[in-house]
Structure 1
């Protein structure tokens, strides 16, 4: 018997075209098919969860836009207030509420942003030991505080303890408590993304730490910080509990934060939410659509700044 015959006897199916491959005994083909099935199932579950999460959002947007979108197309909506407008009268605008919302948001940002940014700088650049741990813990607590709790705290401090009246500035203080943790956490994450090589290079040149933070770290993380500020501002502009507890509503244009009355979009919605007359109902939906539009603009601005303002290192 030749060597070829011995090889043929050792592998009796070697010459057959339908002979099983060498990997059959290892079960690799079976495991590959199983992985493909599991991957497909995971993809189906993921897209199903995404669709379920998007349904409420799409429903809310459709309801608000379909019922309040017509008010946004009326030029008087952006130029007139509700002064002299009753629930039976068609017309009027929301310029007083838009102005009040933007004014409160701007003052809130002026107070909350420096505090939040400096706190984040301390935690990332200087914070060591128990004090930094305590500060970080307090920021976490502020992050989870409901807006109504912040409003009640300011009410107890501003009205009950100090004896002041309910004014728009008290609303600002409550919104500051809600915005600070958002700014701190977003700024902290942006500062951590700054490469340490930039800091070390500045230190090697003899630059002090504070100047390194001001001249190197903050400019590098600037776009991310602005994004966090805008997202935090978008959040507090939609808060309702502080406005209902601390901010009385008026149909007139008001610019004095200490004057007592300050109209905003959330309080405008709350003012007419129980009305059944169609003119008042239309204004409620219009105010809701306007508030969503303002928040959407802030979110888009934050995303665009984050996308086009990425540091080139």
Structure 2
């Protein structure tokens, strides 16, 4: 007998085979079955995810294609120069609705930006883990998920009934309430990404906290903050429900004081799409395409701006 065979440990062959025993072969077989099951489950999940993605892309793509085809039919110079037509009349455009939407969106973002940025700065720089900061975050999360129609009803009760009628001011305030929580959340998240070492360096130079925030924290997070503002702008650009209770609509140019019904694209699209008049429905398609292009453009600008800030 060979010496190597004699000195081999008990239960192990000279060729390095698996230890002898009753549990060796079943263990190998069980492990093989588990790995095969995992591979099957993984492939099945990949197939399901792929099918779901394809179905979603088909649905969204068909909607987009239909919107482009139908919307382009209504595009003409008159679309941007003439006011919305009356019932049964021919022609017309959506110039008054475009201007009304721009004014109310501008009012909303001008009101929401300072409030949102300052509130987000407090949560990130001063509040941190305080009870007041936790309460503000909780209320902000509620506003983020609150239905916009409830915000419209709130502004209707507070402003429209008090002022005695619909107005562009009420519409702008409703849009501001919707945009504020988006800016608050984005500002806080971006400021929390600023390294503490930058703040400590500013404090080491003897600068007060307010100077450090303005010169260091805001400057380092400016790309993210601006991105949040642009996303909030895109969020309120197509809101319909709150404007139904605050600005309503108008088929002519509105007054300079913004009192009375104010023409706007979202409500115009909603009303014209349900009408029996062919030209009204065509204007609704054109307005929907215009809003889609605007929101898409804002989203692209926000992403480019954010990527530019990260590269710097």
Q: If the length of structure 2 is used for normalisation, what is the TM-score?
A: 0.86
Gaps of 5+ in 2: 18-23
Q: Offset at 1:11?
A: 4.3
SS of alignment partner, residue 310 of structure 2: coil
1:158 is the counterpart of 2:159: yes
Residue 201 of structure 1 corresponds to which residue in structure 2? Answer: 201
CA drift of 1:129 comes to 2.2
The equivalences for 1:64-213 within 5 A come to 64-72=67-75, 74-77=76-79, 79-82=80-83, 86-89=87-90, 91-127=91-127, 128-160=129-161, 162-213=162-213
Q: How many angstroms does 1:222 deviate by?
A: 0.8
Q: Over aligned residues, Cα RMSD in angstroms?
A: 2.8
Match of 1:18 in 2: none
For residue 48 of structure 1, the aligned residue among 51, 61, 66 is 51
Matches of 2:218 and 2:255, distance apart in 1: 34
- Any conservation in 2 of the 1:23–1:29 contact (CA below 8 Å)? no
- Cα separation, 2, equivalents of 1:26 and 1:207: 67
CA distance in 2, matches of 1:213, 1:144: 29
- Matching residue of 1:19: none
Determine the C-alpha separation between the residues in 1 that align with 2:257 and 2:294. 21
Where 2:71 maps in the other structure, the secondary structure is: helix
The structural deviation recorded for 1:6 is: 6.0
Residue 117 (structure 1) shift: 0.5
Partner Cα separation in structure 2 for residue 266 and residue 36 of structure 1: 49
Alignment partner, residue 21 of structure 2: none
The reply to whether residue 294 of structure 1 matches residue 287 of structure 2 is: no
SS of the equivalent of 2:92 reads: coil
Aligned mates of 2:16, 2:254 — CA distance in 1 = 92
Does the 8 Å CA contact 1:199/1:212 hold for their aligned counterparts?
yes
Structure 1: gaps (5+ residues): 16-21
Give the conservation status (yes or no) of the 8 Å contact 2:84–2:96. no
Residue 26 of structure 1, CA deviation: 4.2
Whether the 8 Å contact between 1:100 and 1:255 is mirrored in structure 2 is: no
Say if 1:215 and 1:99 are closer, same or farther in 2 by CA, change over 3 A: same
**Number of residue pairs the alignment of both structures matches:** 302
Native 8 Å contact 1:170 1:246 kept in 2: yes
TM-score by length of 1: 0.86
Contact 2:248 2:262 in 1 (8 A): yes
Report the equivalent of 2:263.
Answer: 263
Structure 1 pair 110/14, CA: closer, same or farther in 2 (3 Å)? closer
Asked if the contact 2:166/2:259 (under 8 Å) is kept, the reply is no
**Residue number in structure 2 paired with 1:308:** 308
Q: CA deviation at 1:157?
A: 1.0
